[in-house]
């Protein structure tokens, strides 16, 4: 599913089209994707509200409205984009929500597999309150990160993907960060040496920032808000490269299951399973 760089790219793509615009019409054909409210209540509540701002928190798209907050999670196949009412898009056949704006455009939410979530809430903390630190923020402090890794004593790969620990990192960028830091994905967090923690902290930030600059990884359904593929998938060192040679040592990249997720790594560059 889209991770921090992909969601950030979508947010940057739709924000200029939404801020200051008022919602005038609502169409939805998959009520189950709207959480906490039935369709009628959702329609009545969101109509005539204005988009005040559009931001990202972890993997959520957060739209501050006049009175409420519209929060959307793309999950596996969700796409969010601006569409004209008379201009069909190739993914319009999977559109389940359209918000008509006062300038004649529409905000479309397309989702083939229908796992995406739509929340309309008065208190955004009810959805976002348990999320961990943003890894690109100043709050992602190296000393605190080191302390938390050693307090939790968990396998490092699923810990990095735990959204209550670190917000926005998923399968792709966890694999890439661990490879760049030369850390085996099965390492237990409290065995990491100070130098390894420093490297991991740096590379988490670096790979996420590069992902944003390259407008995300289009390894599956993800596209930018204007329908383009991202470019980060062409720069990935281990993710989705099973049996291909490591870009550093030439050893074949391996894939294992860690925390029920496919995990890619180089057994030569990331060989240490202990701190020794």
Residues recognised as catalytic: 2-3, 59, 261
Residue 82: Cβ within 10 Å count: 19
What length does the chain have?
276
CB 225 within 8 A of CB 9: yes
Beta bridge partners of 27: 98
143 three-state secondary structure: helix
Instruction: Quote the CA–CA distance of 110 and 90 in Å, as a whole number.
Output: 10
218: which residues sit within 8 A by CB, 6+ positions away? 229, 230, 232, 233
CB 218 within 8 A of CB 230: yes
Enter the tokens of residue 68: 């409420």
């Amino acid at each position: 599913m889209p991770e921090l760089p992909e969601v950030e790219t979508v947010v940057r793509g739709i924000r200029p089209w939404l801020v200051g615009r008022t919602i005038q019409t609502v169409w939805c054909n998959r009520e189950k994707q709207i959480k906490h409210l039935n369709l009628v209540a959702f329609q009545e509540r969101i109509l005539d509200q204005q988009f005040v701002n559009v931001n990202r928190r972890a993997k959520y798209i957060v739209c501050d409205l006049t009175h409420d907050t519209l929060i959307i999670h793309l999950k596996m196949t969700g796409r969010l984009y601006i569409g004209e009412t008379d201009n069909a898009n190739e993914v319009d056949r999977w559109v389940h929500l359209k918000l008509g704006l006062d300038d004649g455009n529409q905000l479309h939410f397309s989702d083939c597999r229908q796992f995406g979530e739509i929340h309309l809430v008065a208190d955004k903390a009810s959805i976002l309150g348990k999320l961990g630190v943003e890894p690109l923020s100043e709050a992602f402090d190296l000393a605190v990160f080191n302390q938390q890794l050693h307090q939790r004593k968990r396998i490092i790969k699923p810990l990095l993907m735990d959204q209550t620990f670190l917000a926005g990192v998923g399968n792709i960028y966890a694999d890439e960060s661990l490879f760049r830091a030369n850390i085996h994905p099965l390492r237990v967090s409290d065995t990491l040496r100070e130098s390894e923690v420093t490297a991991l902290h740096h590379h988490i930030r670096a790979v996420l920032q590069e992902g944003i600059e390259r407008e995300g990884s289009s390894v599956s359904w993800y596209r930018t808000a204007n329908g383009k593929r991202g470019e980060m998938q062409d720069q990935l060192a281990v993710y989705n490269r099973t049996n291909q040679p490591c870009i550093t040592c030439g050893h074949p990249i391996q894939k294992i299951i860690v925390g029920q997720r496919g995990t890619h790594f180089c057994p030569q560059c990331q060989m240490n399973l202990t701190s020794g």
